[in-house]
Structure 1
Protein backbone atom coordinates (compact mmCIF):
# COMPACT_ATOMS: atom_id res chain seq x y z
CA UNK A 1 0.00 0.00 0.00
CA UNK A 2 1.32 3.43 -0.93
CA UNK A 3 1.76 6.05 1.75
CA UNK A 4 -0.36 9.10 0.98
CA UNK A 5 0.40 12.44 2.58
CA UNK A 6 -2.58 13.94 4.43
CA UNK A 7 -3.83 17.14 2.83
CA UNK A 8 -6.38 18.92 5.04
CA UNK A 9 -7.31 21.37 2.25
CA UNK A 10 -8.37 18.50 0.02
CA UNK A 11 -10.60 17.18 2.80
CA UNK A 12 -12.19 20.62 3.20
CA UNK A 13 -12.65 20.92 -0.57
CA UNK A 14 -14.33 17.49 -0.72
CA UNK A 15 -16.60 18.40 2.19
CA UNK A 16 -17.57 21.71 0.54
CA UNK A 17 -18.31 19.92 -2.75
CA UNK A 18 -20.59 17.41 -0.98
CA UNK A 19 -22.30 20.27 0.86
CA UNK A 20 -23.00 22.32 -2.28
CA UNK A 21 -24.38 19.27 -4.06
CA UNK A 22 -26.66 18.49 -1.10
CA UNK A 23 -28.20 21.97 -0.83
CA UNK A 24 -28.97 22.49 -4.50
CA UNK A 25 -32.68 22.14 -5.09
CA UNK A 26 -34.85 22.17 -8.20
CA UNK A 27 -36.48 25.35 -9.50
CA UNK A 28 -38.26 26.41 -12.68
CA UNK A 29 -36.11 28.00 -15.35
CA UNK A 30 -37.27 30.76 -17.67
CA UNK A 31 -38.27 28.13 -20.24
CA UNK A 32 -40.48 26.33 -17.73
CA UNK A 33 -38.20 23.30 -17.46
CA UNK A 34 -36.84 22.17 -14.12
CA UNK A 35 -33.30 23.42 -13.52
CA UNK A 36 -31.00 23.61 -10.53
CA UNK A 37 -29.69 26.73 -8.83
CA UNK A 38 -26.10 25.55 -8.77
CA UNK A 39 -24.55 24.48 -12.05
CA UNK A 40 -23.02 21.06 -11.84
CA UNK A 41 -19.36 20.56 -12.49
CA UNK A 42 -17.70 17.38 -13.71
CA UNK A 43 -15.03 15.69 -11.64
CA UNK A 44 -11.52 15.96 -13.09
CA UNK A 45 -8.06 14.48 -12.67
CA UNK A 46 -5.07 16.63 -13.58
CA UNK A 47 -1.71 14.94 -14.01
CA UNK A 48 1.71 16.18 -15.06
CA UNK A 49 4.55 14.32 -16.71
CA UNK A 50 7.87 15.78 -17.84
CA UNK A 51 6.39 16.22 -21.35
CA UNK A 52 2.74 17.19 -20.84
CA UNK A 53 -0.26 17.96 -18.66
CA UNK A 54 -3.26 15.62 -18.85
CA UNK A 55 -6.75 16.62 -17.79
CA UNK A 56 -9.43 13.92 -17.65
CA UNK A 57 -13.02 15.00 -17.01
CA UNK A 58 -15.97 12.69 -16.34
CA UNK A 59 -18.92 13.92 -18.35
CA UNK A 60 -21.26 10.97 -18.90
CA UNK A 61 -24.34 11.31 -21.09
CA UNK A 62 -22.91 14.38 -22.81
CA UNK A 63 -22.41 14.33 -26.57
CA UNK A 64 -19.04 15.48 -27.86
CA UNK A 65 -20.85 18.14 -29.89
CA UNK A 66 -22.06 19.65 -26.59
CA UNK A 67 -18.52 20.03 -25.17
CA UNK A 68 -16.20 22.97 -25.87
CA UNK A 69 -12.55 23.17 -24.77
CA UNK A 70 -10.57 26.40 -24.98
CA UNK A 71 -7.11 27.51 -23.87
CA UNK A 72 -6.50 31.23 -23.39
CA UNK A 73 -3.52 32.79 -21.61
CA UNK A 74 -2.68 29.59 -19.75
CA UNK A 75 -6.27 28.96 -18.60
CA UNK A 76 -7.98 25.78 -19.82
CA UNK A 77 -11.79 25.98 -19.87
CA UNK A 78 -14.10 23.01 -20.37
CA UNK A 79 -17.73 23.93 -21.07
CA UNK A 80 -20.76 21.94 -22.06
CA UNK A 81 -24.28 20.90 -21.30
CA UNK A 82 -26.00 17.72 -20.18
CA UNK A 83 -29.58 17.73 -21.38
CA UNK A 84 -32.36 16.18 -19.35
CA UNK A 85 -34.59 13.67 -21.08
CA UNK A 86 -38.09 14.89 -21.77
CA UNK A 87 -40.75 13.76 -19.35
CA UNK A 88 -42.86 10.98 -20.80
CA UNK A 89 -46.58 10.77 -20.20
CA UNK A 90 -46.52 7.34 -18.53
CA UNK A 91 -43.27 7.87 -16.63
CA UNK A 92 -43.23 9.21 -13.09
CA UNK A 93 -39.89 10.06 -11.48
CA UNK A 94 -39.54 9.32 -7.78
CA UNK A 95 -36.04 10.71 -7.43
CA UNK A 96 -33.70 12.70 -9.65
CA UNK A 97 -30.16 12.94 -8.28
CA UNK A 98 -28.13 13.46 -11.43
CA UNK A 99 -27.27 17.02 -12.40
CA UNK A 100 -28.40 18.53 -15.68
CA UNK A 101 -27.77 21.80 -17.44
CA UNK A 102 -24.65 23.65 -18.40
CA UNK A 103 -21.27 23.26 -16.75
CA UNK A 104 -17.95 25.06 -16.89
CA UNK A 105 -14.58 24.27 -15.31
CA UNK A 106 -11.43 26.39 -15.65
CA UNK A 107 -7.87 25.55 -14.63
CA UNK A 108 -4.73 27.68 -14.65
CA UNK A 109 -1.62 26.03 -16.01
CA UNK A 110 1.99 27.27 -16.01
CA UNK A 111 3.30 29.41 -18.85
CA UNK A 112 5.32 26.55 -20.35
CA UNK A 113 2.41 24.92 -22.24
CA UNK A 114 2.02 24.64 -26.00
CA UNK A 115 -1.67 25.48 -26.49
CA UNK A 116 -1.44 25.03 -30.27
CA UNK A 117 -0.42 21.37 -29.90
CA UNK A 118 -3.15 20.44 -27.40
CA UNK A 119 -5.28 17.41 -28.26
CA UNK A 120 -8.62 16.27 -26.89
CA UNK A 121 -10.32 12.90 -27.13
CA UNK A 122 -13.76 11.89 -25.92
CA UNK A 123 -14.59 8.26 -25.22
CA UNK A 124 -17.06 6.49 -22.92
CA UNK A 125 -18.08 9.72 -21.18
CA UNK A 126 -14.51 10.77 -20.38
CA UNK A 127 -12.88 13.81 -21.95
CA UNK A 128 -9.10 13.47 -22.09
CA UNK A 129 -7.06 16.57 -22.84
CA UNK A 130 -3.30 16.39 -23.45
CA UNK A 131 -1.41 19.69 -23.36
CA UNK A 132 2.30 19.38 -24.20
CA UNK A 133 4.91 21.45 -22.42
CA UNK A 134 7.32 23.73 -24.23
CA UNK A 135 11.04 23.65 -23.60
CA UNK A 136 11.61 25.25 -20.22
CA UNK A 137 13.71 28.36 -20.21
CA UNK A 138 17.00 27.54 -18.55
CA UNK A 139 18.26 30.08 -16.04
CA UNK A 140 21.30 31.91 -17.31
CA UNK A 141 24.24 32.23 -14.95
CA UNK A 142 26.03 35.55 -15.07
CA UNK A 143 29.55 35.80 -13.73
CA UNK A 144 30.03 38.70 -11.39
CA UNK A 145 33.50 40.21 -11.35
CA UNK A 146 34.75 42.00 -8.29
CA UNK A 147 36.47 45.28 -9.13
Structure 2
Protein backbone atom coordinates (compact mmCIF):
# COMPACT_ATOMS: atom_id res chain seq x y z
CA UNK A 1 0.00 0.00 0.00
CA UNK A 2 1.12 3.52 -0.63
CA UNK A 3 1.49 6.11 2.09
CA UNK A 4 -1.50 7.99 0.72
CA UNK A 5 -3.80 4.98 1.03
CA UNK A 6 -2.56 4.33 4.55
CA UNK A 7 -3.40 7.91 5.51
CA UNK A 8 -6.86 7.37 4.05
CA UNK A 9 -7.34 4.20 6.09
CA UNK A 10 -6.15 5.95 9.24
CA UNK A 11 -8.62 8.76 8.58
CA UNK A 12 -11.39 6.20 8.12
CA UNK A 13 -10.38 4.58 11.41
CA UNK A 14 -10.61 7.96 13.19
CA UNK A 15 -14.01 8.59 11.63
CA UNK A 16 -15.28 5.19 12.78
CA UNK A 17 -14.04 5.86 16.33
CA UNK A 18 -15.94 9.15 16.32
CA UNK A 19 -19.10 7.39 15.14
CA UNK A 20 -18.85 4.76 17.91
CA UNK A 21 -18.14 7.44 20.51
CA UNK A 22 -21.09 9.56 19.39
CA UNK A 23 -23.53 6.65 19.08
CA UNK A 24 -22.47 4.61 22.09
CA UNK A 25 -21.07 7.31 24.32
CA UNK A 26 -17.43 7.68 25.25
CA UNK A 27 -17.66 5.17 28.10
CA UNK A 28 -18.85 2.28 25.91
CA UNK A 29 -16.62 3.37 23.03
CA UNK A 30 -13.61 3.34 25.34
CA UNK A 31 -14.48 -0.11 26.69
CA UNK A 32 -14.60 -1.45 23.11
CA UNK A 33 -11.02 -0.35 22.46
CA UNK A 34 -8.52 -3.18 23.00
CA UNK A 35 -6.41 -1.31 25.54
CA UNK A 36 -9.32 0.62 27.13
CA UNK A 37 -7.45 3.84 26.38
CA UNK A 38 -8.96 7.17 25.43
CA UNK A 39 -9.40 7.69 21.70
CA UNK A 40 -6.58 9.09 19.59
CA UNK A 41 -6.68 12.85 19.26
CA UNK A 42 -8.20 13.83 15.95
CA UNK A 43 -9.14 17.49 16.19
CA UNK A 44 -12.47 18.62 14.79
CA UNK A 45 -12.32 21.03 11.89
CA UNK A 46 -14.72 23.22 9.95
CA UNK A 47 -14.31 24.48 6.40
CA UNK A 48 -16.01 27.71 5.32
CA UNK A 49 -15.99 29.41 1.93
CA UNK A 50 -16.43 32.99 0.78
CA UNK A 51 -16.09 34.47 -2.70
CA UNK A 52 -12.44 35.28 -1.96
CA UNK A 53 -11.17 32.39 0.19
CA UNK A 54 -11.59 29.18 2.12
CA UNK A 55 -11.14 29.14 5.88
CA UNK A 56 -10.23 26.02 7.82
CA UNK A 57 -10.89 26.23 11.56
CA UNK A 58 -9.32 23.54 13.76
CA UNK A 59 -10.02 23.05 17.48
CA UNK A 60 -6.71 22.47 19.26
CA UNK A 61 -7.33 22.96 22.99
CA UNK A 62 -4.29 22.15 25.09
CA UNK A 63 -1.96 22.13 22.08
CA UNK A 64 1.11 24.39 22.08
CA UNK A 65 0.97 26.38 18.81
CA UNK A 66 4.78 26.11 18.52
CA UNK A 67 4.31 22.36 18.06
CA UNK A 68 1.72 22.66 15.27
CA UNK A 69 2.74 22.35 11.63
CA UNK A 70 0.63 23.68 8.76
CA UNK A 71 1.81 22.83 5.26
CA UNK A 72 0.68 22.18 1.70
CA UNK A 73 1.55 18.88 0.07
CA UNK A 74 0.37 17.86 -3.39
CA UNK A 75 -2.79 19.96 -3.26
CA UNK A 76 -3.64 19.01 0.31
CA UNK A 77 -3.55 21.14 3.45
CA UNK A 78 -1.95 19.20 6.31
CA UNK A 79 -2.24 20.22 9.96
CA UNK A 80 -0.22 18.11 12.38
CA UNK A 81 1.13 18.21 15.90
CA UNK A 82 0.67 16.62 19.28
CA UNK A 83 -1.53 17.08 22.30
CA UNK A 84 0.46 15.85 25.30
CA UNK A 85 -0.80 13.01 27.46
CA UNK A 86 -1.40 14.40 30.95
CA UNK A 87 1.46 13.46 33.24
CA UNK A 88 0.32 12.81 36.73
CA UNK A 89 0.99 10.52 39.62
CA UNK A 90 -2.75 10.25 40.10
CA UNK A 91 -4.46 7.01 39.18
CA UNK A 92 -7.03 7.95 36.56
CA UNK A 93 -10.41 6.22 36.79
CA UNK A 94 -11.45 7.65 33.44
CA UNK A 95 -9.61 9.38 30.60
CA UNK A 96 -11.92 10.81 27.97
CA UNK A 97 -9.81 13.69 26.73
CA UNK A 98 -7.92 12.33 23.74
CA UNK A 99 -4.20 12.98 23.45
CA UNK A 100 -1.28 12.07 21.23
CA UNK A 101 -0.03 12.91 17.77
CA UNK A 102 -2.51 14.03 15.14
CA UNK A 103 -2.53 14.75 11.44
CA UNK A 104 -5.53 16.11 9.53
CA UNK A 105 -5.39 16.38 5.75
CA UNK A 106 -7.82 18.25 3.57
CA UNK A 107 -7.84 18.21 -0.24
CA UNK A 108 -8.13 21.68 -1.71
CA UNK A 109 -9.45 22.75 -5.11
CA UNK A 110 -6.97 23.78 -7.80
CA UNK A 111 -7.98 27.45 -7.75
CA UNK A 112 -6.27 28.39 -4.45
CA UNK A 113 -3.38 30.81 -3.97
CA UNK A 114 -0.89 28.56 -2.17
CA UNK A 115 1.69 31.35 -1.82
CA UNK A 116 -0.61 33.53 0.31
CA UNK A 117 -2.02 31.07 2.84
CA UNK A 118 -2.13 32.53 6.36
CA UNK A 119 -2.53 30.78 9.72
CA UNK A 120 -3.31 32.24 13.13
CA UNK A 121 -3.78 30.61 16.53
CA UNK A 122 -5.88 32.10 19.30
CA UNK A 123 -7.43 30.57 22.42
CA UNK A 124 -6.87 26.99 21.26
CA UNK A 125 -8.31 27.54 17.79
CA UNK A 126 -6.22 27.45 14.61
CA UNK A 127 -7.64 29.41 11.64
CA UNK A 128 -6.09 28.91 8.22
CA UNK A 129 -7.15 31.31 5.46
CA UNK A 130 -6.59 30.05 1.94
CA UNK A 131 -7.20 32.75 -0.70
CA UNK A 132 -8.67 31.80 -4.06
CA UNK A 133 -6.88 32.72 -7.25
CA UNK A 134 -8.46 35.58 -9.18
CA UNK A 135 -10.71 34.22 -11.89
CA UNK A 136 -9.69 35.10 -15.39
CA UNK A 137 -12.46 37.17 -16.89
CA UNK A 138 -13.32 36.86 -20.58
CA UNK A 139 -11.73 39.59 -22.62
CA UNK A 140 -13.18 40.85 -25.85
CA UNK A 141 -10.56 41.15 -28.55
CA UNK A 142 -10.99 44.00 -30.99
CA UNK A 143 -10.69 43.06 -34.64
CA UNK A 144 -8.70 45.58 -36.60
CA UNK A 145 -9.22 46.17 -40.30
CA UNK A 146 -6.51 46.07 -42.84
TM-score by length of 1: 0.69
Alignment partner of 1:65: what SS? helix
Instruction: Assess if the C-alpha contact under 8 Å between 1:74 and 1:113 holds in 2.
Output: no
Alignment partner of 1:18: what SS? helix
Give the Cα separation in 2 of the matches to 1:61 and 1:134. Answer: 34
| CA RMSD between the two structures | 2.8
Which of 11, 25, 35 is residue 33 of structure 2 equivalent to? 25
Alignment partner of 2:18: what SS? helix
Structure 2 regions of 5+ residues with no counterpart?
Answer: 1-14, 141-146
Equivalent position of 2:46 in the other structure: 45
- String of CA shifts for 1:59-90, please: whole Å, max 9, x gaps: 100000111011123210110100012122xx
Q: Is the counterpart of residue 133 in structure 1 residue 141 in structure 2?
A: no
Alignment partner of 1:39: what SS? coil
Equivalent position of 1:113 in the other structure: 112
Equivalent position of 2:99 in the other structure: 100
Cα drift, residue 44 of structure 1: 0.6
Residues matched between the structures, number? 119
Aligned pair in 2 of structure 1 residues 94, 42: CA closer, same or farther (>3 Å)? Answer: same
Structure 1 regions of 5+ residues with no counterpart?
Answer: 1-13, 28-33, 142-147
Which one has the bigger strand percentage? 1
Give the Cα separation in 2 of the matches to 1:76 and 1:87. Answer: 35
Aligned pair in 2 of structure 1 residues 79, 130: CA closer, same or farther (>3 Å)? Answer: same
Cα drift, residue 139 of structure 1: 6.8
Instruction: Assess if the C-alpha contact under 8 Å between 1:42 and 1:57 holds in 2.
Output: yes
